């Protein structure tokens, strides 16, 4: 099976994006994977520190392995918004395909320092695991604050403050200073960069969806040479998503929409008095599958597996 780096580069060249769908239990996970199977799409499964703390890092890896084997699909696992080197190290050791270090609340220097440690550890995994077809672990960096909370449906109109947007010159500095020299003159560094360009985590219940600052995205793209990641994809206007993919976004993270679909449908079905999990869960799973299918079509990753 081709690795995640292959698919990210393919997406970058061909102008589509891979969806990252977060989960915290097996029924959500199965629902996400079912959609990927029916649309023959590569996918990234995401777990935050909270989600992986609940489900277990080792368990998440074993479930990825099982689903890869059963479906034959390129299914990858990313540790989303890791806040410390120690936690990311654990995820790398357990066998995650990628880790995202979120140092966006730290001063840039500090963010760079820890990111570089993560890159070093992730890339050396290649040596630790042996060369038997294994690849190093990929790293997602972040500059600029995306902020807010994916567990919330905002009742107020929400806008990202100008000062939280990724500054192109900081992105350049980050990419440059987190890269390492490997043997044979090869460079290694963060593989993808999460940028703050107007989207936020969570959904705005007013329906005032966040617009993507395409002008800012374009400026960043012109200055750095690595693909980018869009967080807070839930609820973003479709046209903005399509335009952002043309400007170098290769991965789009969806979390709140999945949580919302799952919880709302579950609540409805439980209110009918059903107490058997395998009878009240399929409805919620169907709701999740629907969200994932729509996103896969929008991102253009259908039939790319
Ligand atoms: Zn995020």
pLDDT, one tens digit per residue, over 253-281 is 999 999 999 999 999 999 999 999 999 99
Mean pLDDT along residues 38-42: 98
pLDDT, one tens digit per residue, over 107-128 is 999 999 999 999 999 988 766 6
Distance 147 CA to ligand 1 centre (A): 8
Distance 232 CA to ligand 1 centre (A): 6
How high is the pLDDT of residue 184?
Answer: 58
Distance 130 CA to ligand 1 centre (A): 32
Distance 73 CA to ligand 1 centre (A): 24
Percent of the chain with pLDDT over 70: 89
How high is the pLDDT of residue 227?
Answer: 97
Distance 32 CA to ligand 1 centre (A): 18
How high is the pLDDT of residue 176?
Answer: 95
How high is the pLDDT of residue 158?
Answer: 65
Q: Which of 5-9, 78-82, 178-182, 290-294 shows the lowest per-residue confidence on average (mean pLDDT)?
A: 178-182
Q: Which position among 80, 191, 204, 240 bears the catalytic label?
A: 80
The answer to whether residue 240 is catalytic is: no
Distance 279 CA to ligand 1 centre (A): 32
How high is the pLDDT of residue 119?
Answer: 95
How high is the pLDDT of residue 185?
Answer: 57
Distance 111 CA to ligand 1 centre (A): 16
pLDDT > 50? residue 17:
yes
Element (H, E) at 240: helix 238-246
Distance 231 CA to ligand 1 centre (A): 4
pLDDT > 80? residue 129:
no
pLDDT, one tens digit per residue, over 137-156 is 999 999 998 876 666 676 66
The residues pairing with 82 across neighbouring beta strands, listed in sequence order, are: 101
Mean pLDDT along residues 38-54: 98
How high is the pLDDT of residue 207?
Answer: 65
How high is the pLDDT of residue 132?
Answer: 46
Place of tokens 């807010």: 148
pLDDT > 70? residue 286:
yes
- CA distance to 78, 218, 220, per residue, from 8 (Å): 13, 19, 18
Half-sphere exposure in the Cβ direction for 88 (13 Å, CA) = 29
- Separation CA 258–CA 27 (nearest Å): 12
How high is the pLDDT of residue 28?
Answer: 98
| pLDDT band (50, 70, 90) for residue 136 | confident
pLDDT, one tens digit per residue, over 202-234 is 877 766 677 899 999 999 999 998 999 999 888
How high is the pLDDT of residue 123?
Answer: 87
Distance 148 CA to ligand 1 centre (A): 9
- Separation CA 48–CA 58 (nearest Å): 14
Q: What is the phi-psi region of residue 130: left when phi exceeds 0, alpha when psi lies from -120 to 50, beta otherwise? A: left
How high is the pLDDT of residue 128?
Answer: 64
The residues pairing with 154 across neighbouring beta strands, listed in sequence order, are: 204
- Separation CA 214–CA 244 (nearest Å): 7
Distance 183 CA to ligand 1 centre (A): 33
Percent of the chain with pLDDT over 90: 79
């Amino acid at each position: 099976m081709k690795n995640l780096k292959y698919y990210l580069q393919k997406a970058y060249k061909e102008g589509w994006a891979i969806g990252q769908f977060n989960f915290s239990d097996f029924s959500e996970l199965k629902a996400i994977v079912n959609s990927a199977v029916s649309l023959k799409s590569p996918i990234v499964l995401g777990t935050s520190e909270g989600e992986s703390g609940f489900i277990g890092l080792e368990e998440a890896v074993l479930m990825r392995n099982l689903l890869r084997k059963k479906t034959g699909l390129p299914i990858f696992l990313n540790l989303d918004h890791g806040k410390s080197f120690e936690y990311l190290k654990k995820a790398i050791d357990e066998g995650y395909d990628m880790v995202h270090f979120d140092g966006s609340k730290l001063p840039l220097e500090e963010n760079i320092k820890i990111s570089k440690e993560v890159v070093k550890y992730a890339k050396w995994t290649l040596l630790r695991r042996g060369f038997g077809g294994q690849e190093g672990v990929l790293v997602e960096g972040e500059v600029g604050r995306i902020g807010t909370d994916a567990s919330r449906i905002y009742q107020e109109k929400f806008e990202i403050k100008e000062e939280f947007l990724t500054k192109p010159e900081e992105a350049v500095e980050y990419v440059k200073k987190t890269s390492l020299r490997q043997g044979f003159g090869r460079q290694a560094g963060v593989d993808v960069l999460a940028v703050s360009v107007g989207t936020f985590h969570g959904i705005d219940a007013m329906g005032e969806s966040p617009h993507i600052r395409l002008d800012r995205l374009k400026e960043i793209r012109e200055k750095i040479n690595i693909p980018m990641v869009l967080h807070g994809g839930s609820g973003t206007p479709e046209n903005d998503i399509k335009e952002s993919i043309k400007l170098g976004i290769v991965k789009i993270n969806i979390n709140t929409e999945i949580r919302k679909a799952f919880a709302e449908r579950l609540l409805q079905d439980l209110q009918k008095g059903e107490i058997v999990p395998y009878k009240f869960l399929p409805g919620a799973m169907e709701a999740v599958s629907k969200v994932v299918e729509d996103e896969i079509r929008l991102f253009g990753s259908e039939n790319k597996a």
